[in-house]
Amino acid sequence: MKTQSTRRTFLKTTAASGVMLGTGLGMPSLSRAASRPVVTHGVQSGDVSAHSAMVWSRSDRAAKMHLELDTVESFKDPLKLAPTNALPNTDFAAKRLLEQLPADQEIFYRIQFEDLNDVNGLSEPVIGRFRTGPMSKRSVRFVWSGDTAGQGWGIDVARGGMKTYATMAQHKPDFFIHSGDTVYSDGPMKEEVPLADGSIWKNIVTPEKSKVAETLNEFRGQWKYNLLDENLKAFNAEVPTFFQWDDHEVVNNWSSSKDLLNDARYSEKNVGVLAARAGRAFHEMTPISYTPAEPGRVYRKVPYGPLVDVFFLDLRSYRGANGASMESELSDAARILGATQLAWLKRELAASRATWKVIACDMPIGLIVWDNWKEKSGAEAVANGDHGSPKGRELEFANLLHFIKAAEIENVVWLTADVHYTAAHYYNPNNAAFQEFNGFWEFVTGPIHAGTFGPNGLDKTFGPEVKFMKAPKEGQFNLPPSDGLQFFGIVDVDGASEHLTVRLMDSANNELYRQTLEPVGKI
């Protein structure tokens, strides 16, 4: 617990930023419980840095979201912020940017909703917490994974729900990186799924999860479904999540060329319309940062002290058509990052003074992911499977990797998910068709709670070497979470040595692989 003087400094600093001090919320004793608002899906925090954070919650009706802050869980003398409206246009969800927070401080926040039609109608309060990033070189721990509630594997309460979230929480990370496929909008749930051992997987099912998502409310319903899981709600209250997205937030393998004309599940055939609705739901239902100049933007940097900068990429929003380009010259059709995002990433990497530059990429670089997996054709990710000099989407990554080498940017580590198994890859220029880059590590993990697949083939363009891999046996695919092949990763950066250690873990908390990296040019 922090000292009283530290707490007073926090109160003074935050009040100076325009936050209003108050004596706490009114008591709901005059309002019957049945008429009071309800916090429907818990609380979340995200994009936490040394001095700022986003917090989120949702009411069951039009309401004011009251938010109180303190440095102690008792809320003995809390700060009361001006209320934020939760209205029908955001499905009664609301989020709030907190600024001018003290660094390296545990912050408790308490959210309560006030009925807009009844000032005495107050919800039960819900409490969350997070720790702001440090300004000094203290040790940092975070976890990452991807793929939640996919391939028909939803919340089976009798089997413990989405247990990987509970396992990750045991490690008390500073934050969690969700590497994409945060929801499965194209993955309807069935109430019962027979398993190979003769037992039955029994899903919670909601109307929105009984069909593919097409309307805005159906896309919102994908998020509300996941937040029915008690493990996830408890995790969200304790651990900030830094979100990025991939394809299943919209539809499998989506790009501008996605053709839904022959998919009888969809009455809305325009993938651009679906992506717009999905993107709005993504930003409404998560504590992701809001960028006024580009409200739907996902790529961003989140600094977490002098040891770690995290760069979140978006390989989905700015890509050309899947499988459309095998050109040897870069064109708009061949892009997957897009010119603006690529320029931003180069600029921010060069400007970073953090010891470790962690690139959170929603798809792996060298693993071959086919747009048409049955015919093994068309690039869905970066690699195109020809093992030669860079072509198509590989050109942007060749350009980026060469820039990192030429600019002498050290200590870059890539984290990703997407392929539903876990692996450690070292990209070795000595074994690559394209060699103008410094060797680097890419760590792959997931799913959190979805079907397990893999492994995928490797494209030799950038010389990836498999240092570790755990996946289903040959001929096995879409294995249920009950088979135990659910994965996440832990990253520890030591405050004294500045070494970065990656551990690949399974949902039962078994350590499968460990790699420690020493920083170059530090200490």
d(CA 293, CA 298) in angstroms, rounded, equals 12
Pairing of strands 370-372, 422-427: unpaired
Per-residue confidence (pLDDT) for residue 327, from 0 to 100? 84
d(CA 78, CA 19) in angstroms, rounded, equals 11
Which tops the pLDDT comparison, 14 or 179?
A: 179
Q: Could you tell me if residue 123 is left (phi over 0), alpha (psi between -120 and 50 degrees) or otherwise beta? A: beta
Question: Domain map of the chain by residue range?
Answer: 4-131, 142-517
d(CA 77, CA 445) in angstroms, rounded, equals 42
CB atoms within 10 A of CB 389: 13
Summarised one tens digit per residue, pLDDT across range 435-475 is: 999 999 999 999 999 999 989 999 999 999 999 999 999 88
One DSSP character per residue, 18-83 reads TPPB-S-PPP-TTS-GGGS--EEEEEEEE---SS-EEEEEEESSSEEEEEEEESSTT-SS-EEEEE
Q: For the packed helices 216-226 and 271-284, what is the interaxial angle rounded to 10 degrees?
A: 40
User: CA dihedral in degrees (522, 52, 180, 316; nearest 10)?
Assistant: -90
Summarised one tens digit per residue, pLDDT across range 359-408 is: 999 999 999 999 887 878 888 999 999 999 999 999 999 999 999 999 99
Residue type, 120: N
DSSP letter at 367? B
- This prediction has a pTM of 0.94
d(CA 372, CA 380) in angstroms, rounded, equals 8
d(CA 435, CA 165) in angstroms, rounded, equals 39
DSSP E strands, 381-476: 412-416, 422-427, 440-444, 464-470
Number of H helices and E strands in the chain, helices first, is 7, 24
The CATH architecture of the domain made up of 142-517 is 4-Layer Sandwich (3.60)
The CATH architecture of the domain made up of 4-131 is Sandwich (2.60)
Summarised one tens digit per residue, pLDDT across range 54-79 is: 999 999 999 999 999 999 999 999 99
DSSP letter at 449? B
Q: Could you tell me if residue 92 is left (phi over 0), alpha (psi between -120 and 50 degrees) or otherwise beta? A: left
Summarised one tens digit per residue, pLDDT across range 230-277 is: 999 999 999 999 999 999 999 999 998 899 999 999 999 999 999 999
Q: Could you tell me if residue 49 is left (phi over 0), alpha (psi between -120 and 50 degrees) or otherwise beta? A: beta
CATH topology match: 4-131 vs 142-517? no
N residues, the chain: 523
Candidates 279, 351, 309; CA nearest to 288 is 279
What would the two tokens of residue 405 be?
């080498």
For 76-93, letters b (16+ CB in 10 Å) and e give eebbbbebbebbeebbbb
Q: Over the chain, what is the mean pLDDT?
A: 93
